[in-house]
């Protein structure tokens, strides 16, 4: 990803964990500072439009409101004196404006309280993070869609409670990933369109210092920042914060599901998928690497995606390792979010017109949720665009079970003559014998005289043990997921 992340700062590429947990929106101190300054500048423009500030005030404040003009460390020290960084910032901004336009300085922070600036800045940061996250999720969903379509008939063993169950298709697995991503995308769009609102209520939510023109200034501030203008200030009604954070938490839930599946399928003893570099030159095509297994490359990267770093997936101690780094990073992001979300929910109980501590407790967890969800989306895009699918290994693992995953189907076949309970017990006994003897279930079933007496033919047993005939509505479900995805793309 490029270092420049737009008007709210740059990714801290030199930070120790920045390239793992801060790969998307990368919101930090500089981002917060610029968002607060943008709010102050927009307020000055709104005041001028409402004729509550001298002509030219908006432009003068806007020119001065650049993060590069301020010292974050100094603001941090001032914040310790007042409990938040806004009072110090407002004084510094007013001085900077006064150097070029003494009258315009009167427009800085007029009518506002610190929470107005902080909360509105949080909404600007959320919009930035949602935009970055949506872009990566949409690319990830496109890659999942391609995998589902390409592998709609690729049979693999399904697993329940981490044990082999009945056959499924890898296309169905990818369709499940796609459905989760599409749902997360819808949630983000709802949060972006319905829950991002300006905060402007003044000292106690009445805008008394602006008189009868206060609501007009609030509407103009919302217009300047392209945020919703709520019916009234929400200083101690914090559901907007929770809703945005919850939408981001749904992102990490959806991406975490994908990552967990990949880590399990990529285990050496399973080996059905592996991570590879997202590479636009590699399409859905078959290859036969040295092991003789048929491997399908992922959907291909979006244009401009950088190649994977050398030795990604390596170990400090074991040279042979090829760890699923993208999946691990996604899970690392996802594991942190629930606790952060819980902090925001717990902080929603706020006193009267301004909270004593609960509001302050929101700032860091809210920022971290935005960063973690955005980072998980980047990693998920890379994971799915570069995912290698080993179809031959899927066949080997399915065959290695010796027909046991089709025991349910054989039971249904025998139930017509033996009845359900007796058929279940007979097949269960045969399955146990197959496991203890190492024989295929087919051989045990065909050697059982009670089965022979039912009139069920060997050909019927063979057919019942064919996994291709026991996929149920897998294909229909894949089609439904792909259709829903295409419909969602058109709506968006």
Residues marked active site are found at: 315, 354
b/e per residue 99-122 (b: at least 16 CB within 10 A): eebeebbbbbbbbbbbbbbbbbbb
Q: Are 367 and 241 in contact (CB under 8 A)?
A: no
Q: Which DSSP symbol is given to 305?
A: P
Q: Which pair of tokens denotes residue 127?
A: 């919009």
**77, burial (CB in 10 Å: exposed 0-12, middle 13-18, buried 19+):** exposed
Which of 226, 140, 216 lies closest to 181, judged by CA? 140
Evaluate whether 167 touches 469 at the Cβ level (below 8 Å).
Answer: no
d(CA 124, CA 366): 12
Phi, psi of 458, deg, nearest 5 = -55, -35
Instruction: Judge residue 486's burial from the number of C-beta atoms within 10 Å of its C-beta, 0-12 exposed, 13-18 middle, 19 or more buried.
Output: exposed
Distance CA 292, CA 31 (A): 50
What string of DSSP letters covers 245-284? Answer: HHHHHHHHHHHHHHHHHHHHHTSTTT-SEE-----TT--S
- Sign of the CA dihedral with 43 first, then 47, 53, and 54 last: positive
Bridge partners of 160? Answer: 163
- 153: closest CA among 489, 471, 439? 471
With a CB cutoff of 8 Å and minimum separation 6, the contacts of 470 are 166, 167, 406, 408, 409, 464
Contacts (Cβ under 8 Å, ≥6 apart) of 277: 301, 307, 308, 312, 386
Cα gap 288→285, rounded to integer Å: 10
CA distance 190 to 169: 32
3-state SS record for 455-467:
CCCHHHHHHHCCH
Comparing C-alpha atoms, which of 229, 188, 176 is closest to residue 207? 229
């Amino acid at each position: 990803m490029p270092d420049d992340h737009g008007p709210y700062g740059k990714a801290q590429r030199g930070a120790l964990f920045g390239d793992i947990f801060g790969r998307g929106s990368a919101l930090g101190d500089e981002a917060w500072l610029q968002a607060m300054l943008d709010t102050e500048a927009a307020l000055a423009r709104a005041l001028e439009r409402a004729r509550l500030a001298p002509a030219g005030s908006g432009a003068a404040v806007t020119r001065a409101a650049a993060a590069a003009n301020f010292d974050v460390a100094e603001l941090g020290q001032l914040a310790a004196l007042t409990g938040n960084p806004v009072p110090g910032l407002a004084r510094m901004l007013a001085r900077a404006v006064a150097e070029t336009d003494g009258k315009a300085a009167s427009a800085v922070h007029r009518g506002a309280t610190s929470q107005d600036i902080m909360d509105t800045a949080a909404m600007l940061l959320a919009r930035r993070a949602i935009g970055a996250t949506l872009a990566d999720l949409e690319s990830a969903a496109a890659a999942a869609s391609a995998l589902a379509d390409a592998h709609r008939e690729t049979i693999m063993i399904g697993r329940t409670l981490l044990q082999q169950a009945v056959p499924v298709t890898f296309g169905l697995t990818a369709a499940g990933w796609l459905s989760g991503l599409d749902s997360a995308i819808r949630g983000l769009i709802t949060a972006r369109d319905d829950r991002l609102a300006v905060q402007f209520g003044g000292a106690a939510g009445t805008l008394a210092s602006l008189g009868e023109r206060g609501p007009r200034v609030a509407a103009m501030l919302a217009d300047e920042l392209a945020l919703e203008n709520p019916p009234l200030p929400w200083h101690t009604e914090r559901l907007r914060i929770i809703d945005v954070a919850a939408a981001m938490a749904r992102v990490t839930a959806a991406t975490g599901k994908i990552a967990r599946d990949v880590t399990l399928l990529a285990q050496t003893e399973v080996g059905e998928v592996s991570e590879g570099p997202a590479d636009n030159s590699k399409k859905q095509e078959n290859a036969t690497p040295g092991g003789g297994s048929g491997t399908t490359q992922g959907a291909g990267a979006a244009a401009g995606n950088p190649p994977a770093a050398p030795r990604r997936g390596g170990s400090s101690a074991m040279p042979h390792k090829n760890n699923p780094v993208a999946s691990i990073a996604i899970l690392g992001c996802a594991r942190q979010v629930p606790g952060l979300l819980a902090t925001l929910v717990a902080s929603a109980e706020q006193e009267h017109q301004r909270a004593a501590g609960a509001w302050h407790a929101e700032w860091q967890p809210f920022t971290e949720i935005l960063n973690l969800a955005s980072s998980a989306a980047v990693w998920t895009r890379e994971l799915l665009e570069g995912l290698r699918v080993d179809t031959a290994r899927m066949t080997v693992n399915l065959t290695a079970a010796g027909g046991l995953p089709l025991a349910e189907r054989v039971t249904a076949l025998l139930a017509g003559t033996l009845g359900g309970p007796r058929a279940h017990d007979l097949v269960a006994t045969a399955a146990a014998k197959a496991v203890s003897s190492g024989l295929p279930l087919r051989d045990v079933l065909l050697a059982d005289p009670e089965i022979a007496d039912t009139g069920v033919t060997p050909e019927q047993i063979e057919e019942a043990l064919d996994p291709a005939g026991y996929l149920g509505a897998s294909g229909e479900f894949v089609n439904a997921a792909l259709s829903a995805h295409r419909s969602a793309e058109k709506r968006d």
